[in-house]
Amino acid sequence: MSCAIAAPLSDADATIQPMPDASPAKWHLAHTTWFFETFVLRDHVSGYRPHDPRWAYLFNSYYEGEGERHARARRGMLSRPSLEEVLEWRARVDEALVAAIPRLQPAALDLIELGINHEQQHQELMLTDMLATFAENPLLPAAWNAAPRAPTAVPDQSGWIGGRSGVVEVGHDGEGFFFDCEGPRHELLLQPHAIADRLVTTGEWIGFIDDGGYRRPDLWLADGWAWVQENGVEAPLYWRRSERHWLRFGLDGLMPVHLGEPVCHVSYYEADAFARWAGARLPTEAEWESAAGAFETTAGNQLDCAGPVRPRPQREAQLFGDCWQWTMSAFLPYPRFRPAEGTVGEYNGKFMSGQFVLKGASCATPRGHSRASYRNFFYPHQRWQFTGVRLARDL
């Protein structure tokens, strides 16, 4: 899947870094290769020698236990190795992994499972960062040709799903793969509430814009209002206004905004302001997770193959797919949380500061990657990821 996502890219496309938060496609391909070569082949296969020891400095992301690394904000300066060289390296590492699997101990096999899930995260990030890259080009090129768009009706006003109240259990139950930050499972007390049965649409968001939503400080958190003023924000990321209507740029190029599609590429600040404008609020992580148990995690619009990905009008109640959904919950450790042992323990725990949890999955999430307990997390101003809004309210 990773190589298929990168298939439309030239070496130049795959090398560009549009902003410090994003990484070049070539870097994503190389970093996930480095992960398997370092934590599995180097550490668990006797006699294995890294393809080029110098590349560890280039493609380590944030693992302090692996030593110094190239600055994140300068990943776009790595014109060498070329995309072709990275793909050749990937092929060699894949071949070595397949050959080694029959001889690996359980600890190494667990690292392979972690690496596969880690790579799925980077597949979504690669699509996200490709969109940010092409959006910087004045030609607004499409990575893939637009998929046919059959006419669809704008969804009716949201229905509401009555949430569970009282003491509930949240967090992963320990069966099957999960990231360390998803546990331990624990009890929480929920008050009576309801959550919307679909995501907020672009049509509803245009109503927020037309009502002065981006110009009304009473709707915004103080940090959010400062962010709006400092950055001149007046619409979701990748939107632009034409003479007649709003347009949005995506991996399929510049298209008119579809009023029935879920709104996407909005920050936590925007999501919170919209919820206040709508007379509602964002759900807590526990409210969302307790409701998700009644829904199929692999349903909805998620990534099945490389190609144009975008949110699509939702035809039925669903919690997974189209857009990651902001919650009002901070990304903090659960009671009795312990990070995984070793350097891979840096994967989640050290980022539990100043970020908010998102739940669900997006149109760029590989199908089967997410689950009710999954905890995505971003800083409140970030919106280049496929992030949307689901409302909640107290009862």
Distant-in-sequence, close-in-space partners of 174: CB < 8 Å, separation ≥ 6: 183, 185
Calpha distance 316→351 (Å, rounded): 35
Asked if residue 130 lies in contact with residue 9, where contact means CB atoms within 8 angstroms, the answer is yes
* Residue whose structure tokens are 């350097």: 343
- The DSSP result for 370-393, as a single string, is --TT--EEE-TT--SSSEE---EE
- Three-state DSSP class for 233? coil
Q: Return the half-sphere exposure (C-beta side, CA atoms, 13 A cut-off) of residue 202.
A: 27
Considering all CA atoms of the chain, what is the largest pairwise distance in Å, rounded to the nearest integer?
Answer: 66
**Section 165-169 average pLDDT:** 95
pLDDT recorded at residue 151: 56
Strands (E), the chain: 160-162, 166-170, 186-190, 193-196, 239-241, 246-250, 253-256, 324-330, 356-360, 376-378, 387-388, 392-394
pLDDT band at residue 387, thresholds of 50, 70 and 90?
A: very high
DSSP output for 205-217: HHHHHHTTGGG-G
- Please name every residue paired with 394 in a beta bridge, in sequence order, or none if there are none: 193
Contact 329, 352 (CB under 8 A): no
Q: How confident is the model over 144-148, as a mean pLDDT?
A: 74
CA distance 87 to 89: 5
The pLDDT of residue 169 is 95
- For residue range 11-60, list pLDDT tens digits in order: 999 999 999 999 999 999 999 999 999 999 999 999 999 999 999 999 99
pLDDT at 139: 95
* Residue 230 one-letter amino acid: E
Bond prior to 24 in cis (omega within 30° of 0): no
CB 194 within 8 Å of CB 163: yes
Locate the domains of the chain by residue range: 2-135, 160-394
Tens digit of each residue's pLDDT (9 = 90 or more) over 207-253: 999 999 999 999 999 999 999 999 999 999 999 998 889 999 999 99
Cα atoms found within 13 Å of the Cα of residue 21, Cβ hemisphere only: 12
Which two structure tokens, joined as six digits, stand for 368?
């089967």
Say if strands 239-241 and 160-162 run parallel, antiparallel, or are unpaired. unpaired
Q: Which residue has the tokens 């809004």?
A: 389
Output the pLDDT for position 153: 65
To the question of domain 160-394 being in CATH 3.90.1580.10, the answer is yes
First vs last C-alpha separation in the chain: 44
* Res 346: pLDDT: 72
CA distance 48 to 31: 18
Q: Would the pLDDT of 299 be above 80?
A: yes
Long-range CB pairs of 237-241, under 8 A, 24+ apart, other chains included: 237/265, 237/266, 237/383, 237/384, 238/131, 238/135, 238/265
Residue-averaged pLDDT of the chain: 94
* CB 191 within 8 Å of CB 165: yes
